[in-house]
Structure 1
Amino acid sequence: MIRKIASERLRPGMYIHELGGSWMSHPFWRSRFEIRSDEDVQRILDAGIDEVYIDTERGIDDRLAVDAEEVREQLVKEMVAVVPLAKPRESWEPIPVSAELRRAREVHGQAHRAVHDVMRDVRMGRAIQTGAVSEVVETITGSIMRSPSALIGMVGLKDKDNYTFLHSVSVGTLMIAFGRTLGMEGETLHELGMGGLLHDVGKMKVPNEVLNKPGRLSDAEFEIIKRHPVDGHQVLVETGGLGDIPLDITRHHHERKDGSGYPDRQKEDEISRFARMAAIVDVYDAITADRCYHKAMEPTEALRKMWEWSAQQFDRELLQVFMKCIGIYPIGSLVRLESGLIGVVVEQNPGSLLTPKVKTVYHSKSMRHVTPAIVDLSQAADKIASTEAAGRWPVDPALHIRGEA
C-alpha cells in the first residue's frame, strides 16, 4: 500500500516509494529506497522535502512505528493519575532550578568523590568510611528538597570511563527523589540514599578485566558479575553500623518479579519494597547511560521499554510512581516542539508530566541556533511533538543541564 506521510514521520525501516517535489529538487540519485538510518531521514529533511510516499508492503508502516506521540499517549493512558501520591509531612517550597544549579554541581562532585573513595577502599580491602557516605546522603537530600530538577539533571550526565562511580551516585540520588515522591522521610529516606550509593560495592571484588570488558561477557564472566550483590552485602555486614535497608538493597537490587533475577531468585512479594524500588532505578540509570558495549537509550524510550518489561520484571505501581518522580520527559531529554524549536528539558512541572520547562536553543526548520529561552509548556501554546536522538541536532544537552550554555 502506498501512503503519503510528512517527512518528519520517517523512521529507519520505511521504504520510500516516491519523494515529494521534482526529481531535480533533491540530491538523491534514485527515488525508491529503504530508509536505513536517522542520517537518511535527515538528508531528506535537509533537502526541504516535506512529504514523501512510502510503500508499506516493502517497509514498515508509519502507523505501526512507535514514535514519541504514541509513547506519550501510551504512558499517559496507562500510568498518569493511577497511583495516589503521599505528601511528606514537613512543608517545603522548592526554589527555581537556576538557583540550585551551582550547589547541585558541588553536591554531585562531592558524591562522586565519596563513592570513588568507598570503591577504592573496598578494592584494597580497607574498611568503608560510612560517615562520609552519610554526610553525602544528607547533602543530596538537601538539594533534592530545595530543587529536585537540578540534581536529577546532573545524574543524567555520565562519563563511561567513570561509569561505576557515577552510576552509584545516580542510583543514590534517584532513590532519595523516588522515596520523597512516595512520601518517605527521616531515617527511611536516609537509608534509601545509603543503599543507593553503596549498592554496587561488590563490583570491586570483580576482576577489572571482567568489570571493564568492552564486549559481551561470556557465560563464565557473567557468573562472576552475578556474585557482586552477595559480595557487596558481605562487605557491608563486615563494615557494621548500617541499617537493614542498605543491606537489603545491596543484596537484592537484581531480583525480578518473575523470579528470574539473582542472587536469591526472589519473586513477587518476596522482594522487599525497597529492593523493588532499587531494581527500577538501577535499570533505568543503566540503560540511559553510554557504555563501551551499548549506546544509551533516550530517557522516554527507556521508560517505554521498562513499562513493557514490567509485566515480568518490575513492580508496575512503583514504576508508575517513579515515572511521576522523573517525568515522562526526564531532565536532559532533547525534544522537538510543534513550532519546530529544539530544546532541552530542564525542569519538571509538578502538576503535569506532559508540560515540563524546556530551554529552546535551535530551530529544526531554519537549521540555525536561536537565542536560548525557557518555555514553560504548562503556560505556552507550543507542545512537544517528539523526543529527539542525541546527536541528531547540534545541541549538547549536558551544557544546558550544567548551566554552561
Structure 2
Amino acid sequence: MRRSILLLATAAALPLALTACTEKSTAADGDITVTATDTSCDVSAETGTTGTSTFQVTNNGSKITEFYVFADGDRAMGEVENIGPGLTRQLIVSLPEAATYQLACKPGMVGTGIRQDFVVTGDSQAATDENGQLAEAADGYRRYIRSQIVALEDTTAQFVAAVKAGNVDQAKALFPQARTYYERIEPEAESFGELDPKLDLREADLEPGQAWTGFHRLEKDLWVTGIQPDTTAVADQLTEDIAYLADQVNADSYTIDPTKIAGDAQGLLDEIANSKITGEEDIFSHTDLWDFQANVDGSQAAIAALNPILQERDPDLAKRIADRFADLDTALAQFRQGDGFVFYDTVTEPQRQDLSRKIDALSAEVSKVQEVVAGQ
C-alpha cells in the first residue's frame, strides 16, 4: 500500500535465494514469525491451513520494510506496511481457500519483494457470519471504495484537462482535490500489483532507468520544471491507470475481506505517520495536509464499516477509537483555509509533532481492530 508508498523497483533485482534458509514448519498451531532484514525474509512456516493466519513480522534490518500475502495475480490478501528497524508488527489475514499464496518482504518499501510460497490446504473456511455483520461490513466498504472511484475519475479528468491545456494555475488547484479521492482508498489500489507505483511513485524512490509516471511526476512539472515535452503523455497515462483501477473495483469479482478492512484502516494511518508527517510526500507542492486529511477520512470510513462488529465485540475500543478520531479531526481543523488547507511548509515543527502524537495515539487503538474482527 505505501506508500505507501508501495514502490516498484529495487527488490525485484534481489534474488529469491537471499531468503534465509532455516528449518520450516507448519503454521497450523500458532502464529507465524517473519524475520526480515535488508536482504532476507525468514518465515517460520511454509505451509498452513485454511482460515485465519497471524504473522508476527520483525524487522531486523536497517531499512523500513513491508510484508505482504499475495494470491494469484499479485492480489494482496493482506499487508502490513512501514515496519521500522527493530519493530514487530502483527498481520492477521484471512486465507479461506486452499491455494499457493506468496509471502513477500519489501526492504526499503520498494520492488516486488523477497518472496516465497506459502501453501494453504484444507476445506473452504468462509468466515462464520450468523448475523450477517461481516457481509454487511464488506458490502458497505465496497460501496465506499466505488463511490471514491467515481469522484477520482471525475476530478482526475478535470486535472488532466487543465494540464494538457497548459493551464498551470487551474491544474495546481485541482491536484490536491484529485489526490484526495485516491488517498482515501490507496490500500485497495495497492492490492492490484504494480498499479500503486504507477500512480503514486515519488521521485526519491525512483530507481535508475525506471519510468516515472503518476501524480508526483505531474506535481514536479507543475511546481518546479514547468510543462515538459512528455507531460501530456504522462497525464494520459494517469487517466488510463485510474480507469484500470476503476475496472478492477467495479468488477463483479471484486470482494473485500472484513479483516482486510481493518488492515486498510491501519495502513492509511501508517502512511501519515511514516511519510506525510515529514512533508516528503508532496515535496514540490506542499499539499500534504490534503493527503493527510484524506488518509484520515479513509481510515474512518473503514472503521465505520466495521463499527457494528466493534460495538458488539468491544464497545470500549469502539469508543476510544471514535474519541481519537475526533481529537485528530479537531487538530487538523486549525490548518484549514477556505476549501482546503494551508501549505505544509508553513506548519511549524512543534505543530507537526503534536499531529504526530495524535496520529500515534489513534493508530495504537486502530491496530487492535483486526484481532477483534478476526474473533481472536
TM-score bracket for the superposition, by shorter chain length:
under 0.3
Q: Which has the higher contact order (CA 8 A, sep 6+)?
A: 2
| TM-score between the two structures when normalised by the length of structure 2 | 0.27
Give the alignment's TM-score, normalised by structure 1.
Answer: 0.26
Larger Rg: 1
